[in-house]
Amino acid sequence: MSLRRAPARLGALAALAAIFVVDLVRASVSVAAIVLARRPVTHPAILAVPVDLESRSGVAAFASFLSLTPGSVALHVADDRRTIYVHLLDAHDPETQVAGFKRDFERWIGRVER
């Protein structure tokens, strides 16, 4: 790691942490609403999330962030590390949710790795 890139990497790490905290709160409220609902309506699903990260540690971090978010859990990383299979408690809009995972977590993990 070059010292020249350290400030950018630290900034990306701070952004990733902030995004995770916001997502953690949002997802916790959503799961709490489902749990407390008299007749909860959910759309559970297993989604294949494509991965563009190159390193093993980046893919592991991405899977960890997905599992740490309430209402989702990473089930399996494909052998070629190009897909993570994720179970969602409520996959009301799968395409948007996958795009959000990639935008919020994968993009910033990639910036931390650069």
Beta bridge partners of 50: 83
If you search the block for the tokens 């969602």, which residue do you land on?
Answer: 88
Q: Which domain holds residue 76?
A: 3-113
Start-to-end Cα distance in the chain: 9
Taking only the tens place, the pLDDT of each residue in 63-105 is 999 999 999 999 999 999 999 999 999 998 999 999 999 999 9
Please give the Cα distance from 5 to 95 (Å, whole number). Answer: 33
- The model's pTM is 0.90
Q: What's the total number of domains in the chain?
A: 1
Which pair of structure tokens corresponds to residue 11?
């900034």
Q: Interior CA angle at 20 toward 15 and 26, to 5°?
A: 130
pLDDT digits 0-9 by tens, 64-75: 999 999 999 999
State the CB neighbour count (10 A cutoff) for residue 79.
7
